Amino acid sequence: MPRRQVGTKRAPESDIETAQSSDNKSEKENNLPKLFIGLAVFGVVLYIASLVLEPSGAVVPVTVQDQFTQIRNARLDEIKGQLPPPNPPPEAPVVGAADPRELTEAARIAMQQRLTTPSEDGYPTGYVRVPKLVGGKKDHYDDGRLHIIFSSGCNYFQHWQSEMLLATAKYVGQRGRVTRIVSGCHDKKAEKINHKHQTFPKGTNDLLVPFKELNRSVNDNFGLYITPTFEGAMHFPWINKPSSIDYFIQHARPDLDRLGETVIAILDPDFVFLEALTQQPLDVDSMLSTVGTLTKGDNVVRRGRPVAQHYGLGGGWVSRFDVASIAGKDSHATTYSAGTAAKHFAVGPPLMLHVDDLADLAPIWRKNMVEVLKVEKDILADMWAYCMAAAHLKLEHTILDQFMLSTWGNSGQSFPWVNKLPELSCLEPKIAPGHHGPTFIHMASNFKAPESKKWMFHKGHVPAKILDCGTPLIINAPDDLWGISKSTTTKQCAFTLCNIVKNLNRVATDYKQKFCKPEEIESRHLVRLIQSKELDRGCNQAKDKWCYPLAQIEGLDKNWRAKLD
């Protein structure tokens, strides 16, 4: 007879033995008195054995059930810590069901402790917050095997952007896990360094974000991974990207393997989700490409075949650098012409690779970055270094256009889809039924609309502490901004501007409601992003409230500053 599992209800005798002879039944009845006597003796023995002495000498009874519970719990804890990575999930999971790969909260925390090293400066190194695996809204292949990562600085400039990425991932129902990798937290000198390629106003933007703030988000499921400081990154922060990703993939691999994650998607912190990133095989009409002929499922990553967004890099690295001296004279990277390189490596985020491919590529990417910077310090250096690393390993990419909108133009991004939209509300920007839109907005340009350029958005103009309880929200552009923008370019800018501001205000509002006291929240839309300040020019950014270098307060009385507390 199979052993009954502990804790399960005992089945009736009739279900266990269906053909019981009367002889056997009589024999059992005759043995009952003996059985009761045996049980009574056994009970006395158990009672005596259940007495234990405390250190004080007092005798305290401990029940057999208590002992069993202690042993069981100890054994369960032991098992949870030793469980091997579970099998990959089924291809079509039940919508809304818990993913069978996610272990208990205790197991997740144990992994977090295993991969974290304390630090005296208040910023521990490693996986200080292991992300949770979550399901999504869509009924499709399990994107739980997709792990999204992005590298950011530890300053306020990239903190609010990172929170936008994390929060909008939650809003669109992104499946799988998302980890923010943070570098530059361990050196306060970074707050005062002048960067040659500074892309935002100095001051509050440069300040390091306290660990308490780094470790919270509207998205409760996010992961936080803090790296050590990398040489040269203080003066040229773009070193952090390949260095931190290499460090992460080397040291956090046990946690990726714990859940059987096979695809890593690399984003930048200035990405805003408009819809979920998926590994569901897409139909041809749900993809765009100006590089090659499309077939169904070209968006799906395979070992040895990454998928990425098209960027306007071409194959310039072939002639721009001495590839043999960087990659090695026998490297496969030396075999590409500019034309063939453009067909396979003119890529940028989202970069989606098989986890084993990224493990091979990351150290080469980091090494190439050092060599590229010996030739020129350009903000595209990490991208050139990536291209050469991928070419060295012959990781030829499937290049798609539809993932993002980062500027304005005619091809190479999701422009054809945006250009076909029949209408757009700036206050509630949604893709019209039957039309397609980008997965992301990449906040990489200065977006201005309509033709008068009265309304604009640039990430460098956003108040550094836009998430603070007392910071006002951004003033919305008029709802008909799309309609009054006449050219293709200004319509594209209106689409981008409206989506960013809508999401930024939503994120800031949700963030304040979650982490601020109600009486501390400033919910008015008073901040106007502007190309050059027209009002309040004489304010002191270091001392005065609501004084921003590239934004101004509008909608209050002329003497509003004098009336501040």
Concatenated DSSP letters of 63-98: -HHHHHHHHHHHHHHHHHHHPPPPPPPPSSPPTTPP
Question: How far is residue 282's CA from residue 307's CA, in Å, rounded to a whole number?
Answer: 13
Angle CA 90–93–97, to nearest 5: 130
pLDDT digits 0-9 by tens, 375-428:
988 889 999 999 999 999 999 999 999 999 999 988 899 999 999 999 999 999
Cross-sheet strand order for the sheet of 404-405? 271-273, 440-442, 404-405
Q: Are 124 and 239 in contact (CB under 8 A)?
A: no
Question: Where do the H-state alpha helices sit in 453-562?
Answer: 481-484, 488-515
Residues of the chain short of pLDDT 50, as ranges, are: 1-37, 39-98, 103, 138-140
Identity of residue 433: P
Per-residue confidence (pLDDT) for residue 91, from 0 to 100: 40
Q: What is the pLDDT of residue 70?
A: 47
Which pLDDT score, from 0 to 100, does residue 117 have? Answer: 77
Can you give the pLDDT at residue 565?
57
Rg (CA), the chain: 30
E strand or H helix that includes residue 271: strand 271-273
472 Cβ contact partners less than 8 Å away, ≥ 6 residues apart: 522, 523, 524, 525, 526, 527, 546, 553
Q: What angle do CA 117, 123, 128 make, to 5 degrees?
A: 55
Q: Which helix (H) or strand (E) holds 208?
A: none
Write the CB contacts of 49 (distance below 8 Å, at least 6 apart in sequence).
none
pLDDT attached to residue 341: 97
Provide the pLDDT for residue 45.
40
What H or E segment, with its residue span, contains residue 148?
A: strand 146-152
For the chain, which domains are there?
114-405 (3.90.550), 415-563 (no CATH)
The pLDDT of residue 383 is 96
Q: What is the per-residue pLDDT for 101?
A: 53
Are the beta carbons of 142 and 191 closer than 8 angstroms? no
Sign of the Cα pseudo-torsion (553, 557, 558, 560, in order) = negative
**Predicted pLDDT of residue 123:** 81
Rounded CA-CA distance 334/388 in Å is: 9
Closest CA to 424 of 413, 437, 405: 437
- What confidence score (pLDDT) does residue 478 get? 98
Distances (CA, A) of 547 to 129, 460, 543, 555: 34, 15, 8, 15
Mean pLDDT rounded to a whole number for the chain: 82
User: What is the C-alpha to C-alpha distance for residues 457 and 147, in angstroms, rounded to an integer?
Assistant: 30
Q: Which residue has the tokens 């499921």?
A: 221
What SS3 class is residue 116?
Answer: strand
